[in-house]
Every structure is written in C-alpha cells, then in structure tokens.
Structure 1
Amino acid sequence: MKIRPETLSDCPAITEVNNLAFGQPNKGKLVENLRKNPKFIPELSLVAEIDWKIAGHILFFPVVIKLENSEEKEIMSLAPVAVLPEFQRQGIEGELIREGLKACQRLGYDSVIFLGHPEYYPKFGFKPANKWRITDPFGVPNEAFMALELKVEALEGAGGVVEYPGEFLEV
C-alpha cells in the first residue's frame, strides 16, 4: 500500500471511494466542493493506493474556532476519511489517519478537530473537544466531537465554537 497526496487524475476515484464507503453521494460531493475552496491544501488530501487502485482517502481542511474573546484560532478538520468497502478492516483507515496527522505537523498545524466514532478515534490521541471548551455548531454528542493536539498545549485557551466553511453545510 502506498499513501500519497492526491493528483488531479485521482479525483473521480476519490469521489467514488467516499460515496461507496458512506453509501451516499454527499461525501464525495463534499470533497469535490472543498477542493474548489481557496483554502484547500492538496498535500492534506491523501489517498491509499493498492495495486494502482485508490482504496482509501482522507482529507484535512482548515477551519476556525471562534474563540470566546471574539478572536479566531485556525485548526485542521479531519473530514472525511473513507475506505472502499472491500478494503475495510485492513488497517488502511488507521494508516491514512497517521500519515495525515504527520502531514499536518510537517505543514505547521498544531491541532485537529474531528466528528466521529468515540470508540475508535481515541487510539490516535483524540479526546472529547469539550475538554478544551470547544463545541461544534451541529449539536452532536460531546463524545463524538473530538480534538487532538499535535503540539503540547496547542488548544489551551481555545474554547469556542468551530466554524466550518459553507461546503460542509451544503451536503
């Protein structure tokens, strides 16, 4: 398996991976829409390639926390991460997450926010975001909205509401 940044020719396969993994077309559309946003970072849209086939995809996208003091803090959002059904439960998602977090660190990002299964993601270091008084705009359960510090104390004083770009709300 090879994990690498996406290329232009990967785009249709990435859409398909996301649609099939989630069983709905909106996840693939989300990635397509985010790719058009000027804040899109190609080095943080990674694919897992097996025998020249795109088997998985992960995207990290910058969002902001509207801090309680009216300032903003940029944070990376992990969303989505997807693996084709026939390749699931083979460790591909975990490798995508680990490599994506390393890429975020290399590019200087200090923290990541994520909405996901509270039983799975803590093994990568994610903790409920309310630990730092960070909340989501969607009203999801606290244990499903998680954050990870890539740098020690990166989220200290970061209490506030995460603001997602419109693309997240369109799907």
Structure 2
Amino acid sequence: MLIRTEAPADILAVDQLLKSAFETEAEANLVMKLRENGNRTLSLVAANDNGEVVGYALFSPVTLDGQDDSWQGLAPLAVKEEYRRQGVAKLLVEEAFASLKELGYPACVVLGDPNYYGRFGFVASEKHNMRCRWEVPAGAFQVIALRDGEFSGRSGLIEYCPEFSEL
C-alpha cells in the first residue's frame, strides 16, 4: 500500500471512491468545493499495488473562536469497502499527522465515532471545553494536539470552512 499526496490525476478516482463509500454524494461534493475554493490543506490517497485509489483523507482549515491558528479538520476519511479493516485508514491518518506536524500544523479536529477516531489519539472536545456549531452526541466532536501544550488555556467554538455549512 502506497500513501501519497493526491495528484490531479486522482480527482475522478477519489470522487468515485467517496460516492461509493458514503450514503449520499455530500462528501464527494464537499471535496470538490474545498478543492475549487482553495480550502484543502492536505489530501492523501492510499493506492494498492496496481495504483488504484482505495483510500482518501482530506484536511482543511478550522478556526477556534474565529481565530486561525493553523488547526486542521479531518473530513472526509474513506476507504474502499473491500479494503476496510486492513489498516488503510490508520496508514492514511498516521502519514497525515506526520506531514501536518512537519508542516507546522499544531492540532486537528474530527466529527465522528469516538471509538473509531479514539484509536488515532483523538479525544472528546468537551475535555478541553471546545465544541462545534452542530448539535452532535457527546464525544463525537474530537480533537488531537499535534504539538505539546497546544490546548493549554484554549477553549471555545471550532468552525470548519464555509463549505461544510452547505452539507
């Protein structure tokens, strides 16, 4: 399995992957809008030995109480059905965190299953007095510091790019 930065030639394959991985086309449409509007910080693909795109992760900017501190939001994360439960998502997230740290991005957020994303080190945002704008189950909105002390003295409302409001 090769984890690499998304290339322009991957756009169609990523679009097809997202449309097959989720119940609606909302995530695929979101990714297209984020690309078009320049709100994609990092996007990685997982390619199998034949070069087929079988996994995808995208990171885009988020703000804390309206302030841009270079924090990132993970959404979406998708793996082709026949490749699930084989560690593909783990490889994508590990590579992404390494890249984000190297590039100086200090924190990441995600909205999703706490049991799933907890495996990557995410914790409930409530533990740091942080929240998102949507009504979500306790623990579903999660954060991870990629730099020591990043959450010290911080709390508030975390907001994604405007494209997320159109979902």
Structure 1: 5+ residue runs without aligned partners? none
Match of 1:121 among 108, 117, 132: 117
1:95 corresponds to 2:96: no
Tell whether the 8 Å contact from 1:66 to 1:73 is kept in structure 2 after alignment: no
- 2:133 paired residue number: 137
Q: Percent identity?
A: 35
1:107 aligns with 2:106: no
Which whole-Å CA distance do the structure 1 matches of 2:64 and 2:141 have between them? 13
Out of 81, 92, 97, the position equivalent to 1:85 is 81
Contact in 2 for aligned 1:73/1:158 (Cα 8 Å) = no
| Correspondence 1:15-94 to 2 at 5 A | 15-41=15-41, 44-50=42-48, 51-66=50-65, 71-94=67-90
Secondary structure of residue in 2 paired with 1:148: strand
Task: State the AA in 2 paired with 1:75.
Answer: W
Mapped to 2, the partners of 1:142 and 1:155 lie a distance apart of: 19
Runs ≥4 in structure 1, deviation > 4 angstroms? none
Shift of 1:72: 4.9
Q: Confirm or deny: 8 A CA contact 1:65 1:74 kept in the other structure.
A: no
Q: How far did residue 39 of structure 1 move?
A: 3.4
| Matched residue type, 2:4 | R
DSSP-derived class of the 2:149 partner? coil
Scaled by the length of structure 2, the TM-score of the pair is 0.94
Unaligned 5+ runs, structure 2: none
Q: Distance in 1 between matches of 2:160 and 2:143?
A: 15
Residue 13 (structure 2) pairs with residue 13 (structure 1):
yes
User: Contact 1:129–1:146 at 8 Å: present in 2 too?
Assistant: yes
CA RMSD of aligned residues (A): 1.3
Q: Does 1:164 align with 2:163?
A: no
Q: What's the secondary structure of 1:109's corresponding residue?
A: coil
- Number of residue-to-residue matches in the alignment: 166
2-side partners of 1:55 and 1:19: how far apart? Answer: 13
CA drift of 1:74 comes to 3.5
- Taking structure 1 as the reference length, what is the TM-score of the superposition? 0.92
Deviations 1:65-108 (A, max 9, x none): 116xxx55341101110011121111101111111111111110
Distance 1:83 1:8 in 2: 19
Offset of 1:132 from its aligned partner?
Answer: 1.1
